[in-house]
Chains A and B, each alone.
Chain A
Amino acid sequence: MENVFDLTIIWAGIIGFGLMMYVLMDGFDLGQGILFPFAPNEQARDTMMNSVAPIWDGNETWLVLGGAGLLAAFPLVYAVFLPALYIGVFLLLAGLIFRGIAFEFRFKAKTSKYLWSWSFSVGSIVASFAQGAVVGAYIQGFETEGFAYSGGALDWLTPFTVLTGFGLVIGYALLGSTWLILKTEGEVQDFAYKITPKLLFGLIGVFTVVCIYTPFIDEYVFSRWFNDISFIWALPVLVLYCAYLVYRHVKKRNEGLPFVASMGIFLFSYLGLLASKWPYIVPPKFTIYDAASAYNSQLFLLLGFLFVIPIVLTYTSWTYWVFRGKVKEGGYH
């Protein structure tokens, strides 16, 4: 069978896009849990939780799709990352479960409410940290034998991945606080305005260390940045420009731009990361072509997606339309 289209590239695009969407969408709602302990009072916590309550679980369906999609398009990623990050994946899932059920039980509870606040907060922080550590582990690369992971249980846990873990916790908190600037008013918004610059400095600090450190542990990345192509230097410059925008518009108390610019920081960092490693998807050995599934399977799923996804988007937008309306402090409707 002659393969007319390079489906692997198409799938890399789909999965890459999906991951970015997941990070941006679940990022700001995980951020609420990270900010929880710093919130001025209980009422503010209610508002923060309410601001993401109707959307967070839709976002997590994308995570399930991401898992299944990786298995379908790049099974090697699925079969190496998950065993290598075994403990981290457990922490990620446990964190997501605890924060997920806290959405429900915290609002129903009276005497046990504080327990569910903790459940929400710790769950969000653990899940975010685990995701950040995955990014760090991807940069570090994986020890493999044949097509299977051959390293130890805690190989992924290094000072570097701890740093990227905390980096993502801070980053999600930044998305969360700028989201609050956009979606709330009064006390909660003031709190968000105040904490955003601190988060921003923290994040840029981690970003700088990661950027300097990575080329020195990884020759491939070094040559990509210093020998190959120069226009990718625009990406870190854009990250810093977005950070500047966040800072300036928080000072000017603009409501929308800080959130958009925060997403910009994530987007350009993500592209920078991909540019560093491309086309390696399971570093240091395997490229997207090594990791890809059979052409026939990629095609079977792609044809279905082309048909089903428009339908999904149609009824999803219809349900959003049914529940259109403004978010108010203390509840919905």
Chain B
Amino acid sequence: MELDPLILSRIQFAFVVCFHAIFPVFTIGLASTIAGFETLAYKTGNPIWHKLSKFWIQVFAVVFGIGVVSGIVMSFQFGTNWSNFSYATANFLGPVLSYEVVTAFFLEAGFLGVLLFGRDKVPQGVHLFAALMVATGTFISSFWILAANSLMQTPDGLINIDGIYHVVSWTDSLITPSFGYRFVHMALASFLTASLVVAGVSAWFLIQKREVEANKKALSIALWFLLVLAPLQAVIGDFHGLNTLKYQPMKVAAMEGNWETQPGVPLLLFAIPDESAEKNHFEIKIPKLASYILTHDPDGVVPGLKDVPVAERPPVFIVFWSFRVMVGLGLLMILFALWGLVLRRNGKIYTSTTFLNGLRLMSISPFLAVLAGWVVTESGRAPWLIYGQMTHAEGLTPSLTGGMALFSLIGYVLVYAMVFSAGIYYLLQVFKGGIEHTDIPHELTTVERPSRPLSAAHIGIDEDL
């Protein structure tokens, strides 16, 4: 069998970016959560907020550390595997990525040290300021990287002269038509992730009756956030979908599994899209609902995949099902938010083991939903690297062979498997240590390690071996 460098590069990029993405999506929300706890501690002086903040800072440190390490790979991937794309878009992409480093990475790295280790070295207000700066840094970073991604989805503000893109308008190219929706959708996803992880971990502590008072407060706040954010995300997601319908109709066609351009398109709850037969098997559908959602008219016309040649269609099965996974998990989040509201009125929110155990499981749901969402938007763009302008094949490194791509793919899988298991193991140790652990005397922490992210957790990785 001939090894195809294009497929292998796409798999490698998907793998590396998925592995990387789950960390920042968590740290963006968590940074703001910590800043929130620090603000509450500052305003009320209640030591519970300090405890919570200290514990979650440890978690943040581990996750941030792995995110940084896996992020270094990302900045070289564009060149190694997609050199034609990089070269063609460098006039835009280069400054954008450089700005991300100088406006976000340095801000995060600089103030993270103070956040992690500076509690006793700077006044409380300054420490709070450091927390806010780290949170700000994570948002600045998402601004740049989502601007870069949005340009690939809905290109604007550039002209192509002899195969090289030149920036005509920086404003238009940075704020393309899909940017606003993507940014808000992603920011909400990050907050949802933080809310659900905080809720899940607090629930786990409450089941074990550990540090009940602090964890009750954390759970309560997390659930209020969930109640606001989960439905809001559904609304924003809908707007984002309408924007996609306008600019990337084939992506929407694949999401809906709709082959023919027609009025009154049903919403498919279940189907097995068959790309070679150009139809779906085993459809379970709600009549006219897709048309209603997308055009706000039950008889509205929705574009179908057969509008374009086979070569220009995204992989329907993947996009169709990833979309359902994302939406399904989103609906589950709304359900849990409402369940929490009902239990709160009955006063059982902190004691119902069924609910608390459910929340524990739900703490992985935002990660799955985010990955599914990115698969929808990235695979849905296929075969385009820059929508309507440059295909994946055109963007590939011309000298890349299948063997080289396979070598690096296997290599990254092995390296990341090791990093990931060490990181997860370590994170579980932090969770086991719990909120109580943050009270260890300062003398103990000073013999540990200096100002490094992962060192904020004072826990041996093989203590129980």
- Partner pick for A83 among B95, B100, B399, B452, CB 8 A cutoff: B399
0 or 1 for each of A78-108: is its CB under 8 Å from B? (1 = yes): 1111111011011001101110110111011
Q: Which residues of A contact B (CB under 8 A)?
A: 50, 53-54, 57-58, 60-61, 63-65, 67-73, 75-76, 78-84, 86-87, 89-90, 93-94, 96-98, 100-101, 103-105, 107-112, 145, 147-153, 293-294, 296-297, 300-301, 304-305, 308-309, 312, 315-316, 319, 322-323, 330-333
- The answer to whether B94 touches A293 (Cβ under 8 A) is yes
- The answer to whether A78 touches B72 (Cβ under 8 A) is no
Closest to A296 in B: B167
The answer to the question of B102 belonging to the interface, with a C-beta cut-off of 8 Å to chain A, is: yes
The A-contacting residues of B in range 254-311, CB under 8 angstroms, are none
0 or 1 for each of B81-102: is its CB under 8 Å from A? (1 = yes): 0011011001111110111111
- The answer to whether B446 touches A67 (Cβ under 8 A) is no
Contacts known (A68-B97, A107-B448); A86 close to B400, Cβ less than 8 A = yes
Q: Which residues of the partner chain A approach B422 to less than 8 Å between Cβ atoms?
A: 101, 105
Closest to A151 in B: B399
- 5 additional contacts (CB under 8 A) given A94-B415, A107-B449, A148-B399: A57-B453, A65-B102, A70-B94, A87-B408, A294-B91
- CA A67 – CA B71 in complex, angstroms? 12
CB distance from B457 to the nearest CB of A (A): 8
- CA A94 – CA B389 in complex, angstroms? 34
Q: Which residues of the partner chain B approach A89 to less than 8 Å between Cβ atoms?
A: 76, 79-80
Chain B residues touching A, majority SS: helix
The answer to the question of B454 belonging to the interface, with a C-beta cut-off of 8 Å to chain A, is: yes
- CA A176 – CA B459 in complex, angstroms? 29
- The answer to whether A68 touches B100 (Cβ under 8 A) is yes
Q: Which residues of the partner chain A approach B459 to less than 8 Å between Cβ atoms?
A: 108
Q: Which residues of the partner chain B approach A81 to less than 8 Å between Cβ atoms?
A: 79
- CA A296 – CA B161 in complex, angstroms? 14
Q: Which residues of B contact A (CB under 8 A)?
A: 65, 68-73, 75-76, 78-80, 83-84, 86-87, 90-95, 97-103, 105-107, 109-111, 113-114, 117-118, 121-122, 164, 166-167, 170, 397-401, 403-404, 407-408, 411-412, 415, 419, 422-423, 426, 446-455, 459-463, 465
- The answer to whether B87 touches A79 (Cβ under 8 A) is yes
Contacts known (A89-B76, A90-B408); A83 close to B462, Cβ less than 8 A = no
- CA A94 – CA B105 in complex, angstroms? 21
Q: Which residues of the partner chain B approach A322 to less than 8 Å between Cβ atoms?
A: 113-114, 118, 121-122
- The answer to whether B415 touches A83 (Cβ under 8 A) is no
Q: List 7 A-B contacts (CB under 8 A).
A: A54-B451, A64-B75, A72-B98, A79-B83, A108-B459, A112-B465, A152-B399
CB distance from B304 to the nearest CB of A (A): 38
- CA A49 – CA B37 in complex, angstroms? 34
- CA A69 – CA B97 in complex, angstroms? 8
Contacts known (A108-B460, A108-B461); A153 close to B403, Cβ less than 8 A = yes
- The answer to whether B117 touches A103 (Cβ under 8 A) is no
- The answer to whether B72 touches A63 (Cβ under 8 A) is yes
- CA A8 – CA B68 in complex, angstroms? 30
Q: Which residues of the partner chain B approach A147 to less than 8 Å between Cβ atoms?
A: 87
- The answer to whether B102 touches A305 (Cβ under 8 A) is yes
- The answer to whether A301 touches B95 (Cβ under 8 A) is yes
- The answer to whether A323 touches B117 (Cβ under 8 A) is yes
Q: Which residues of the partner chain B approach A98 to less than 8 Å between Cβ atoms?
A: 415
- The answer to whether A296 touches B91 (Cβ under 8 A) is yes
Closest to A302 in B: B95
- CA A150 – CA B170 in complex, angstroms? 33
- The answer to whether A97 touches B113 (Cβ under 8 A) is no
Q: What 5 A-B pairs have minimum CB-CB distances, sorted nearest first?
A: A72-B94, A75-B90, A82-B79, A79-B87, A104-B454
- The answer to whether A57 touches B102 (Cβ under 8 A) is no
- CA A112 – CA B164 in complex, angstroms? 51
Q: Which residues of the partner chain A approach B117 to less than 8 Å between Cβ atoms?
A: 323
- The answer to whether A67 touches B79 (Cβ under 8 A) is yes
- CA A259 – CA B456 in complex, angstroms? 31
- The answer to whether B465 touches A297 (Cβ under 8 A) is no
CB distance from B205 to the nearest CB of A (A): 23
- The answer to whether A319 touches B114 (Cβ under 8 A) is yes
- The answer to whether A301 touches B399 (Cβ under 8 A) is no
- The answer to whether B110 touches A316 (Cβ under 8 A) is yes
- Partner pick for A100 among B69, B76, B98, CB 8 A cutoff: B69
CB distance from A55 to the nearest CB of B (A): 9
- CA A81 – CA B102 in complex, angstroms? 23
Q: Which residues of the partner chain B approach A323 to less than 8 Å between Cβ atoms?
A: 113, 117-118, 121, 451
- The answer to whether A82 touches B101 (Cβ under 8 A) is no
- CA A82 – CA B83 in complex, angstroms? 8
- The answer to whether A61 touches B105 (Cβ under 8 A) is yes
Q: Which residues of the partner chain B approach A79 to less than 8 Å between Cβ atoms?
A: 79, 83-84, 86-87, 90
Q: Which residues of the partner chain A approach B95 to less than 8 Å between Cβ atoms?
A: 72, 297, 300-301, 304
Which residue among B72, B83, B97, B400 has the maximum number of chain A CB atoms within 10 Å of its CB? B83
Q: Which residues of the partner chain A approach B80 to less than 8 Å between Cβ atoms?
A: 82-83, 86, 89-90
Closest to B97 in A: A68
Closest to B130 in A: A319
Q: Which residues of the partner chain A approach B449 to less than 8 Å between Cβ atoms?
A: 53, 104, 107, 331-332
- Partner pick for A68 among B92, B98, B166, B403, CB 8 A cutoff: B98
CB distance from A50 to the nearest CB of B (A): 7
Closest to B425 in A: A105
- The answer to whether A150 touches B113 (Cβ under 8 A) is no
Contacts known (A110-B462, A322-B118); A304 close to B446, Cβ less than 8 A = no
- Partner pick for A331 among B103, B164, B415, B447, CB 8 A cutoff: B447
- The answer to whether A104 touches B452 (Cβ under 8 A) is yes
CB distance from B77 to the nearest CB of A (A): 9
CB distance from A97 to the nearest CB of B (A): 5
CB distance from A53 to the nearest CB of B (A): 5
CB distance from B399 to the nearest CB of A (A): 5
- The answer to whether B102 touches A93 (Cβ under 8 A) is no
Q: Which residues of the partner chain B approach A93 to less than 8 Å between Cβ atoms?
A: 72-73, 76
Q: Which residues of the partner chain A approach B75 to less than 8 Å between Cβ atoms?
A: 64, 67-68
- Partner pick for B105 among A50, A64, A153, CB 8 A cutoff: A64
- CA A138 – CA B114 in complex, angstroms? 40
- The answer to whether B76 touches A312 (Cβ under 8 A) is no
- Partner pick for A148 among B113, B398, B403, CB 8 A cutoff: B398
- Partner pick for B106 among A61, A73, A78, CB 8 A cutoff: A61
- The answer to whether B109 touches A61 (Cβ under 8 A) is yes
